[in-house]
Amino acid sequence: MKKLAFVFATAALLASCGQNKEESTELNDPVVQPETTVEEPEVSQTVEADVYLELLSDDQMQYDKKELKVTSGQTVALTLKHTGKMDKAVMGHNFVLLKAGVEMNEFATKAMAAKETDYIPEDQSDIIAYTGVIGGGESVTITFEAPAPGTYDYLCSFPGHYSIMNGKLVVE
């Protein structure tokens, strides 16, 4: 009698094992589980803004855009991404938007000396908006209000970068 009960139990166990196996096979079937991932811009999910801009930077000391366009008064969310692999200590990048009329060369010289504050001078009167310095694989998002219509310089203030890493924000 005891032996019979053991056999039944074993049979039940085997049966349930078989069932589990079938279930897990179904779950892994790509037809049963269609791809439902929708890729949305990361930025829009985390900050509220009127316009979303993305600026890429890399290990070749380059921004991917020389010009960005916005409309005066808009709340701008700007994401700076570093698509490279190098550390921020050797290939760090940031985004600094200068006020109209500020000399980029003069500003960059001041910024270069401000290592402790991530190459942002203590006196920020020349700056409309800026990000922190990031390294390879990192990204940073800031928001700011688009200034009065005009053309504004932006640059990377990491030492030695601004002569290549610069561009214009056109505000309409």
Q: Residues interacting with Cu ion, by CB under 5 A?
A: 93, 156, 158, 161, 165
Nearest alpha-carbon partner for 120 in 86, 147, 156: 156
CB of 42 to Cu ion, least distance (A): 21
Q: Which residue is nearest to Cu ion (CB)?
A: 156
Between 53 and 82, name the residue whose CB sits nearer to Cu ion: 82
H helix intervals, 36-93? 42-46, 88-91
How far apart CA 144 and CA 78 sit, in angstroms, is 8
CB of 157 to Cu ion, least distance (A): 8
Between 154 and 158, name the residue whose CB sits nearer to Cu ion: 158
Between 70 and 156, name the residue whose CB sits nearer to Cu ion: 156
CB of 165 to Cu ion, least distance (A): 5
Buried b (16+ CB within 10 A) or exposed e, 100-124: eebebeebbeebbeeeeebbbbeee
